Structure 1
Amino acid sequence: MLDVKALIARRGEHEFCYDFSCHAGQIVAVLGQSGCGKSTLLAMIAGFIKAQGQLSWQGQSLQGLPVAQRPVSSLFQQHNLFEHLNVMQNLALALHRSLRLNDEQRQKIKEVAERLDIVDLMAKFPGDLSGGQRQRAALARALLRERPILLLDEPFSALDPILRDESLRLVSELCREHHLAVLLVTHQWQDAMAIADEVAFIDEGRVVQQCSPEQLLKFPASSQIQHYLKVSS
């Protein structure tokens, strides 16, 4: 379980303090108004923002660990692909910095590429790919890192509705297959209803309610949540 208790960071005049949890094999959708601290929460977990408090995975503290040593893969809206490397090289980079792979590593890439339907794209560069293709390639690289915590910060927001739905279903399948703890930051209530086991609603740098999507609809804990549901449902 990813366990967050009184995890605090300050940025300028703003203080962020989070309490919530996410189990292996579970998807938690992180919701809230723009600027409330959704991306900040993910950055604190990944180690990009220093924070105080309790942050642990399966009972082991992550505090003090550098970014590279945390059991975390992150995927952002920009997809984080290196433009000067082709898809194969981008994926290889997830397994070895020198891009020198053994047979077992090449087989891993082949299996993930087949799963995400990007085998025919391996020689292409990111600039030659569509948004959906870039998104699948970036997701493949995140999975190849084999980290049990997957942080998704609105990676599908630029996709058309059909690709968005396909991508969400794929994340749900991969979460179950690989037993990942997935945090999905989204502005779309429909995303939460489609694949999330729970939602964590953030308001002014705090998780004010964590529950199932159905419970949030029936029993919103604040007027802010009520307003959010009214305008986004």
Structure 2
Amino acid sequence: MLTFEDMRYTQGAFSLHADFTVRNGEMLAVIGPSGGGKSTLLNVVAGFLEPTSGRVLWDGQDLAGTMPGKRPVSILFQDNNLFPHMTVTQNVGLGLRPDLRLSVQQKTQVEAALARVGLDGYGARKPAALSGGQASRVALARMLLRGNPLVLLDEPFAALGPALKVEMLDLVRELMGETGATLMMVSHDPGDAKRIAQRTVLVAGGEARAPVETGLLFSDPPEALQRYLG
């Protein structure tokens, strides 16, 4: 369970406050205007930013001082974090070992992960030879292999066309269901939240508000969300 305990992050004139809990295995959307703090919220969880006050806890353990690589977190950004000089297999293998000295069993795991995301036979390709959707699938395969219980998505599919984005969201929903991981997904698109998230957090006016059931939030939006939706 992920808990923001009266957490505040402040930098200059910018301030973000959060005080809520994300349930284990939940798929949660984070939505709101640009510059409101959506990515900041994820970066605090991932450990790239430290709270100014309050705490962020995972299963009751304070994450303060824990380096990003030691946190139970996998994070995926819009650029997919793929290394262009490496093959698809190598990029995915990084999810198991940064030095890529994989055992026979681990190599089999990489192949299985690629097959699971629909990229069987793509292992020898470089990222430049992939479409945007295929690159996203490689990043998802690597994330799947890392096996972390908390997954953070920061608009990784924003550059994809509508049909392909829906396909990727459905794949994420399937993978989260299979692994039981907890998901926080930042998006500017209400359709993304409606498709994948049980609850949605609205980030606006310096506050990451407590999660609300997604359908209810959009059927009866608060004033801040109305302004954002236009």
Q: TM-score, normalised by structure 2?
A: 0.95
Deviation at 1:122, TM superposition (A): 0.8
Report deviation, 1:12: 2.2
**What is the rounded CA distance, in whole Å, between the counterparts of 1:97 and 1:209 in structure 2?**
37
* Per-residue deviation, 1:209: 4.3
| Equivalences for residues 1-233 of structure 1 within 5 A | 1-51=1-51, 52-220=53-221, 222-229=222-229, 231=230
Distance in 1 between residues matched to 2:206 and 2:168, nearest whole Å: 28
CA offset digits 1:13-59 (Å, max 9, x no partner): 21122122222221100000111000000000000011132211112
Q: Secondary structure at the match of 2:121?
A: helix
In structure 2, C-alpha distance between the alignment counterparts of 1:113 and 1:98, rounded to whole Å: 19
| C-alpha displacement of 1:79 | 0.5
Q: Please give the alpha-carbon distance, in whole angstroms, between the structure 2 residues aligned to 1:36 and 1:187.
A: 11
Q: Which amino acid letter does the alignment assign opposite residue 17 of structure 2?
A: C
Name structure 2 gaps, 5 residues minimum.
none
For 2:23, the aligned partner's letter is H
Cα distance in 1 between the residues matched to 2:163 and 2:220: 31
User: SS in structure 2 opposite 1:8?
Assistant: strand
Q: Which amino acid aligns with 1:58?
A: D
The runs of 4+ residues in structure 1 deviating greater than 6 Å are none
Preserved contact between residue 20 and residue 210 of structure 2 (Cα < 8 Å): no
Q: Distance in 2 between matches of 1:76 and 1:12?
A: 25
| Percent identity of equivalent pairs | 40
Structure 1 CA distance for aligned equivalents of residues 8 and 105 of structure 2: 41
Measure, in 1, the Cα distance between the counterparts of 2:72 and 2:210. 26
Residues 112-159 of structure 1, C-alpha deviations (whole Å, 9 max, x = no match) = 111101122211111111100111001111111111100000000111
Structure 1, unmatched stretches of 5+, are: none
The number of residue pairs the alignment matches comes to 229
Amino acid at match of 2:39: S
Root mean square deviation, CA, Å: 1.3
For 2:127 and 2:206, locate their aligned partners in 1 and report how far apart those are by CA, in whole Å.
35
Deviation at 1:160, TM superposition (A): 1.1
Structure 2 residue identity aligned to 1:19: D
**Letter aligned with residue 186 of structure 1:** S
For the 8 Å contact 1:38–1:185, the answer to whether it is kept is yes
Residue 170 of structure 1 deviates from its aligned partner by 0.7
Secondary structure at the counterpart of residue 209 of structure 2: strand
